[in-house]
């Protein structure tokens, strides 16, 4: 089966940082994507990683450890508007289908 | 570029009725995906087309659900004899293709289906 796990909720404070964790156990691995989804809107692509290590994309950074089946999305200098759900999705070799976690709802407080 | 277009945005059906959902992928994208999203199950993969051909429908319920892509500009998801548990937001996404460089999927706004 395809297991992608994320915590349900995360709270942080404006101006600080938040780390959204994702663990996975899938039949094969062909990369991991992160999406942002605001209430009532479609998921929006943020990042894709396939190699181990940290990928810095400015406001968003992503880390991957394939041996541990683990990734995180790091948001720095948080703003209130970063409040949203963040979805982790594993891309399998099976024709690149994405298997999503249930998403982590991030709330950024003043 | 209008993005992925889905119609209708909202649909209400009575139990046992049929529902047809429409998706227009981004022009030039050869891969089309259908997902279903609920609070309980999250975002679940349903089916996938590439160059209009069905590639993987392993996420589709075997009964009552069917998907087609008659041409490169639209795909349909049909649910026969709808049940209350079919209530969900149905999302369509498209991407450039299935190769390693085409990892980004662009999602439509979704169709919220409510079965009474």
The SS3 call for residue A82 is helix
Touching A: B residues 97-116, CB under 8 Å: 98, 100, 102-110
Q: Are the C-beta atoms of residues B17 and A55 closer than 8 Å to each other?
A: no
- Candidates A42, A48, A95; nearest CB to B91: A42
Chain B residue with the nearest C-alpha to that of A99: B45
* Structure confidence at residue B96 as a pLDDT band (50, 70, 90): confident
The answer to whether the Cβ–Cβ distance between B103 and A91 falls below 8 Å is yes
Chain A residue with the nearest C-alpha to that of B5: A42
Token pair for residue B9? 């945005």
Most A CBs within 10 Å: which of B94, B105, B108, as the mutation test of the A interface? B105
Q: What is the pLDDT of residue B101?
A: 58
User: What average pLDDT does range B46-73 have in this prediction?
Assistant: 92
Q: Give dist(CA A33, CA B108) in Å, integer.
A: 17
* Structure confidence at residue A1 as a pLDDT band (50, 70, 90): very low
């Amino acid at each position: 089966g395809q297991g992608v796990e994320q915590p349900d909720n995360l709270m942080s404070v404006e101006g600080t940082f938040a780390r959204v964790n994702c663990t996975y156990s899938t039949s094969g691995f062909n990369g991991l994507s992160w999406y942002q989804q605001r209430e009532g809107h479609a998921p929006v692509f943020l990042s894709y990683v396939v190699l181990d290590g940290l990928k810095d994309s400015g406001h968003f950074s992503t880390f991957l450890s394939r041996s541990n089946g683990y990734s995180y999305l790091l948001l720095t200098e948080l703003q209130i508007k970063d409040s949203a759900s963040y979805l982790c999705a594993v891309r399998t070799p099976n024709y690149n289908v994405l298997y999503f976690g249930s998403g982590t709802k991030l709330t950024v407080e003043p | 570029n209008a993005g992925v277009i889905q119609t209708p945005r909202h649909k209400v059906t009575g139990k046992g009725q049929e529902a047809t959902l429409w998706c227009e992928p981004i022009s030039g994208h050869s891969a089309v995906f259908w997902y279903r999203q609920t609070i309980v199950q999250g975002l679940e993969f349903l089916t996938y087309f590439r160059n209009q051909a069905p590639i993987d429908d392993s996420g589709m319920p075997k009964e009552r659900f069917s998907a087609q892509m008659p041409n490169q500009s639209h795909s349909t998801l049909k649910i026969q004899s709808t049940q209350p548990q079919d209530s969900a937001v149905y999302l369509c996404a498209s991407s450039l293709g299935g190769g390693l460089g085409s990892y980004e999927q662009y999602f439509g706004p979704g169709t919220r289906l409510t079965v009474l």
